[in-house]
Amino acid sequence: MSVGDFERAAKSVLPRAVFGYVNGGTEDCHTLAANRDAFRSVQFRPRGLVGVADRTQAVELWGRRYRHPFGIAPMGVTAMCRHRCEWDLAKAASHAEIPFVLSGLSTLAMETVRKADADFWYQGYLPGDREVIEPLMRRLQANGVDVLVVTIDTPLGANRENNQRNGFTIPFKFSRGLLWDGIRHPRWSANVFARTLLSDREIPRFRNVVADARGYRITEEPKGGLRGGRDRLDWSHLAWMREAWPGRIVLKGVAHPGDAQIAERMGLDGVIVSNHGGRQLDGAQGSLDALPDVVAAVASTFPVMVDGGFRRGTDILKALALGARMVFLGRPFLYGASVAGQAGVARVIDILGTEIDRNLGLLGCRDVAELGSDFIVSRG
Residues marked active site are found at 276
15 vs 156: CA distance, rounded Å:
27
Query: Which has the closest alpha carbon to 100: 115, 85, 90, 110?
Result: 90
* Residue 61, beta-bridge partner list: 64
Alpha helices by DSSP H, 266-330 = 287-297, 313-321
| 70 DSSP assignment | E
Cis? peptide before 127, omega within 30° of 0: no
328 vs 311: CA distance, rounded Å:
11
What 3-state class would DSSP assign to 195? helix
Phi and psi of 103, rounded to 5°? -75, 145
Query: Which has the closest alpha carbon to 221: 174, 271, 172?
Result: 172
228 vs 290: CA distance, rounded Å:
29
